[in-house]
Chain A
Amino acid sequence: MIELMNNQLTFRFPEVHQKAACSIDFQRTLRIPDDNREYPLPPGLGRFPVEHVDDFANKLPDTWRSHGGVFIPMYQSEALWINFSGDYPCAVKIAAGKINAVSGETWSNGLSADPQDYAVIPEQPWLDGFNVSEDFIRQFVAMPLGEGFTAEEQITGKAEHGGLQIIVYPMKHDVYVEHFERAVEADLDYLDMPMFSRTVCESAAPDMGLAPGGLMRQEIYEDEYGIDAWDQDNGFRCFIHLANSEQYQMITGHQPPHKPATAKDYTEAGLPWFDYYDDSKALAGSDTLGKLTSVAAKVIEKGKGLLPDNEPVHPKTVKIISKGNVVRDGEF
């Protein structure tokens, strides 16, 4: 089952293993400049609020009700990153507008090994964008559906789905026991199970999708366990709709978070950016995703001038983080 608590989705698979669980939340962040320079990791500025679709069903489009799942508020051209936590290995497949963010393929349930179309947690602590080339992603940036910016529209020519789609498969019970607890069977109590939480717009369109923004150094790691390690009979999936922040307020009556700081203001205040080091092997980028046009380039292409708040920045404070120390919080 998938639970929503404290704006975090927790996927639990007690039928596979008592410890089989992972949590996913959506972090507010700076939009890095979209100027083809390479940027380090921007900070997390706190979780996006997450709401059940069913709680506001009568105010939401029919398609959202049919998809089920949850929704979060985003301003136009606001960025996000997806934060993974949990100790039990899981394979996570992520799509934006039903375009796989790792492989660029259209959505399907199940995992693919060649090309690998999923990330493995806890090895992968987060995902900030589309896998455009080895060691680089293009940041997830929210844009209204229907204007041609989103990855979905650029690849399929249609503005059909929007949002984010996630499916999680736990490691098979036997593989987990073999790798992690061959010697000791843990003393288990479901009720005492830890939550695994680590410390680690201007548009009136109701529905948003994710478009490729600025270029960021981030690896998506190769699956070291192999595709047969994942229990594909026991996956859970969730549709995360992206509501324009103004619409979100009308739908829920709740105030959306304020707009995040610009990269320029944040950097000038001397606040930290981050670099993550892990020597695991990184996946190659997706050719399909590598050919996408970024938001800033698309704005120029459409003859709409320049993307606002897109001046280059020169981060002076870059904190190095590594496995076991994945705190990436910023304050502003």
Chain B
Amino acid sequence: MTFGEYIREHREALKSEDRRFSVRQVAQRIGVEPAYLSKIERGDVAPPSEAKIRALAEELGEDPDVLLAMAGKVSSDLQEIIRKRPQLFADLIRQLKSAPDHALLRIARDVRDGDW
């Protein structure tokens, strides 16, 4: 499924229960022209900027990292992390590419600090 198809499918699902998720209204809330959002959904134009994708994710209740990945982009904070130690993170990601999810979760998991 392309980025545009995914957005349209999820927006339409929300719209079936709430009219506020029409192309016009969603476009207005994320600050683009309705015609532009429509073109994005049809795949007539390339996915929008990171900021607009984040706004769409927030609007549709989707994970921004997932939408960015579907749009062929890497979040700027991740890019910054990788840029600081490129070789290390490139090696790390390559080595982990075939690891099962539970193994990745164990690596990614830290002890959460809260409010005290």
Contacts and interface: CB of A to CB of B under 8 A. Distances in A.
Contacts of A191: 91-92, 95
B110 A161 contact: no
A190 B111 CA distance: 20
B91 A1 contact: no
A271 interface: no
Interface in B37-84: none
A69 B112 CA distance: 5
Contacts of B114: 65-69, 239
The bracket for how many chain A residues form the interface is 20 to 34
Interface of chain B, helix or strand or loop or mixed?
Answer: loop
The bracket for how many chain B residues form the interface is 10 to 19
B33 to A, nearest CB: 42
Interface in A152-171: 161, 165
B9 to A, nearest CB: 32
Contacts of B95: 191
A67 B116 CA distance: 5
Contacts of A66: 114-116
Interface in A48-70: 52-54, 65-70
Interface in A39-97: 52-54, 65-70
Given A2-B113, A52-B112, 12 more contacts: A1-B110, A2-B111, A3-B110, A3-B111, A4-B109, A66-B115, A68-B115, A69-B113, A161-B116, A191-B95, A238-B111, A239-B113
23 contacts: A1-B111, A2-B111, A2-B113, A3-B110, A3-B111, A4-B109, A52-B109, A52-B111, A54-B112, A65-B114, A68-B111, A68-B113, A69-B111, A69-B112, A69-B113, A70-B111, A98-B116, A165-B116, A191-B92, A236-B113, A237-B113, A238-B113, A239-B113
